Amino acid sequence: MIRKAVFPVAGLGTRMLPATKVIPKEMLCVVDRPAIQYVVEEAVEAGLSEIIFVISRGKEAILDHFDLSPELETELEARKKTALLEKVRRVSALVESLSAVRQKKALGLGHAVLTAAPLVGKEPFAVLLGDDLVQAEVPCIKQLADKALELKASVVAVERLPREKVSLYGVISGEDLGGGLWRVQGVVEKPRPEEAPSELAIIGRYVFFPEIFEYLRRIPRGAGGEYQLTDAVAAMIADGRPVYALEFQGTRFDTGNKLGFVKTILAYALRDPEIGEELRRYLREDLALL
Ligand code: G1P
């Protein structure tokens, strides 16, 4: 069983400034809930009941969002706003166990995951990055967790992207085992397109065994002067430890930049049972789109 999910949410969100000047980028609203809620919902649906946030100063709103809000609830109760009260209660009921640790310095994703080590302990765990939302029949992180338990090894999610787009990601090389599964042989963080070992980009979903922490402690600073998660994965592979990559089933949305964020909102709004149909009509008739 995998129970713990680590959410590194300490990043500054500079690509979405000025929206993220005061509000954490994870709290930007996608249709009717903050982006991070979709990712937490994915983890919970996959059976990950212990949520661990790696935060930094100014990110407390994320924790508050998943906590009880007694004043608001009392107020809604007094005003007999039952439906809204239910929505509010659903969010705090979502997370059974909520904890947080502070990453004091912005030293990279590898450093953020290592910061969670004392809360993770000696068991396999998931890592979910808040920028990536995934719509899938089986939650993306569950697809990874099932494979990780079956193979007893770490598994990262990958997506095949056009070569010119892979420079924003960690990129793997590997042996094709069929069914979207790869045995990873190498991984490079943000390669130039012509130097990328493949078109398989790592997206923000991982399942690790606790051995990853040994490697995170060992690696030097990498791309951008930061401690990179991909460098720890590369070090594990160099040591002969197996790591797999899975081309997950589903659609990923990148909320981490302006265009991606707007596309995400549109896609989620079109699927929304309350507003989807009217939005489709609006796009088609009033805006003469679609
Ligand atoms: C991070 C990782 C990268 C991965 C990406 C997925 O990069 O370092 O390997 O491909 O997340 O979103 P970032 O997006 O934080 O620059």
Question: How many domains does the structure of the chain reveal?
Answer: 1
Determine the pLDDT at residue 13. Answer: 82
What range defines the domain where residue 204 resides? Answer: 4-256
- Contact residues for 96 (Cβ-Cβ < 8 A; gap 6+): 49, 50
Are the CB atoms for 236 and 155 separated by under 8 Å? no
Question: Could you tell me which of 126, 93, 98 has the C-alpha nearest to residue 3?
Answer: 126
Ligand 1 contacts CB of residue 204 (under 6 A)? yes
- Neighbour-count burial of 57, counting CB atoms closer than 10 A to its CB (0-12 exposed, 13-18 middle, 19+ buried): exposed
Residue 265 lies in a domain: no
CATH of the domain at 155: 3.90.550.10
Answer yes or no: is the C-beta of 202 below 6 A from any ligand 1 atom.
yes
CA 3 centroid distance within chain: 16
**Hey, how many other C-beta atoms are within 10 angstroms of the C-beta on 178?**
6
Residue 264 lies in a domain: no
| Ligand 1 binding pocket includes 132 (Cβ within 6 Å) | yes
Q: What is the pLDDT of residue 288?
A: 86
The dihedral region occupied by 192, where left means phi > 0, alpha psi between -120 and 50, and beta the remainder, is: beta
The reply to whether 282 falls in a domain is no
277 falls within a domain = no
Within a domain: 121 = yes
133 lies in some domain: yes
Local confidence pLDDT in tens for the 290 residues of the chain: 899 999 999 998 889 999 999 999 999 999 999 999 999 999 999 999 999 999 999 999 999 999 999 999 999 999 999 999 999 999 999 998 999 999 999 999 999 999 999 999 999 999 999 999 999 999 999 999 999 999 999 999 999 999 999 999 999 999 999 999 999 999 999 999 999 999 999 999 999 999 999 999 999 999 999 999 999 999 999 999 999 999 999 999 999 999 999 999 999 999 999 999 999 999 999 998 87
Ligand 1, atom 15: closest residue by C-alpha: 109
Residue 213, strand partner residues: none
Residue 278 counted as domain residue: no
Tell me whether residue 276 is in a domain.
no
Q: Which atom of ligand 1 is nearest to the CA of 201?
A: 10
